[in-house]
Amino acid sequence: MLELLPPPPTDPLWELTAEFAADERPERLNLVLGVYRDHTDRTPVMAAVREAEIRLAERSESKEYRGLSGNAAFNRVLPALVLGSQVPADRAVAVQTVAGSGALRLLADLICRTRPGTTVWISDPAYVNHRPILEAAGLTVRTYGWRDAQGGFDAEGVLRELRGARRDDVVLLQGCCHNPTGADPTLDAWEALAELAVRGGWMPFVDLAYHGLGDGLEADLLPTRILAARVPEMLIAVSCSKNFGLYSDRTGCAIVLGASGRALRHAETALQNAARTLYSMPPEHGAAVVTTILEDAGLRADWQAELEVMRGRIEANRSDLTTHLSALGCGPQARALARQKGMFSMLPLTAAQMLRLRREFAVYGTTSGRINIAGIPGHRIPRLAQSVASVLGGAPAPRLLEGALGN
């Protein structure tokens, strides 16, 4: 039977990651995957997470099944963090998921069970896994443009295109730190999107994966709260991978906002049923860590302080890169980069130029031009800028021996 299987497509990000692992050049630089790295090029365990794990190990209560919805306390504290006091708790239900991607898939299944073949609008460009997840759930995908000619958020264009969304369509929006562009709407634009959703009758579906790493935790959550306060129904996929550093613990949450208790009960059961057929129930550890942190005022303050340090380092990396690019004669490209937020930025390079960047200078980013700003060791920024400028034709190529020494 397996001989009949046609060659399946490979995941582009993990294919690049494998290519990087096989690259023997000492100056190679991996900016593909969205993980935070500190100045030593490590992805550390956050101090608050480590303390929470120690407390959990000391209690070591049980490894008993938690149920299809996962950790009930987690399903209370995470929506409270996301929605704040603006949205009454009885307007929402939540189930723990296998990270943010699991939340996206469960909510996509919920949409399909409610109305098979529903059209979901996603940005162009979008997170690489949005379309595959939605189409695998049986949904129809349409795109709307996201960037203007300068690489920033195109408010006028997005609002114009989404006026074409029909009643009962779903529009997927990234709550902050847009992946892959780093270009975010202003608060006025978010207000306009909320008004358009109410008037047009379409449902917002918010993907929230980078809150705390853009303008700060509360500021990054405000767009989601603006939408939640205005629309009658809404879906939110939340990831704890980036802002808690729980990448391999696969911790996330699917939140549904509805207009009636009956609708919410049905949605919760539908999410549980979908989870049952996909993975039965999510892993406990990461959810217990997050709950321990958010329920303890001291740990929560420590976590937020550490998150702010991470945000500051990302900001500093982006600022340093733009400064070096400007000095190398790439002023317009640097100005576009400076306006972006969060872990990712889009280099103004074509797929062919990104290939050259990888082959000639050992700098790995995606073919779309996306690089992980949070993954650049600070001392490697001058050489990265020189490599980019060289590909753009604005600077001589850096010597590879300098890269090998970290200059």
Task: Please write the tens of the pLDDT for every residue from 53-109.
Answer: 999 999 987 889 999 999 999 999 999 999 998 788 899 999 999 999 999 999 999
Residue among 218, 272, 276 at smallest CA distance from 243: 218
Mean pLDDT of the chain: 94
pLDDT of residue 150: 87
> What is the count of structural domains for the chain?
2
The answer to whether residues 183 and 215 touch, using CB atoms and an 8 Å cutoff, is no
Q: Which two tokens stand for residue 17?
A: 């990651």
Domain coverage including residue 351 = 11-43+313-404
Q: What is the CATH number of the domain that holds 153?
A: 3.40.640.10
Q: Are residues 86 and 175 in the same domain?
A: yes
Q: What is the CATH number of the domain that holds 354?
A: 3.90.1150.10
pLDDT of residue 8: 86
pLDDT digit string, tens, across residues 194-222 = 999 999 999 999 999 999 999 999 999 99
Residue 398 scores a pLDDT above 90: no
Share of the chain above pLDDT 70, in %: 97
Residue 269 exposed, middle or buried by CB count within 10 Å (0-12, 13-18, 19+): middle
Reported as a pLDDT band with limits 50, 70 and 90, residue 406 is very low
- Whether 380 is in a domain gets the answer yes
- Whether 3 is in a domain gets the answer no
Q: Are residues 146 and 37 in the same domain?
A: no
Higher pLDDT, 405 or 44: 44
Highest mean pLDDT among 26-35, 168-177, 334-343, 394-403: 168-177
Residue among 173, 177, 294 at smallest CA distance from 235: 173
Q: What is the SS3 string spanning 3-18?
A: HHCCCCCCCHHHHHHH
Report residue 347: phi and psi, to 5°: -75, 145
pLDDT of residue 399: 56
pLDDT of residue 397: 63
Lowest mean pLDDT among 157-166, 229-238, 330-339: 330-339
Taking the C-alpha atoms of residue 387 and residue 381, their distance in angstroms, rounded to an integer, is 10
pTM: 0.94
Please report, for residues 88, 292, 355, the alpha-carbon distance to residue 32 in angstroms, rounded to integers and kept in the order given.
39, 31, 13
Q: Are residues 288 and 343 in the same domain?
A: no
Highest mean pLDDT among 147-156, 298-307, 392-401: 298-307
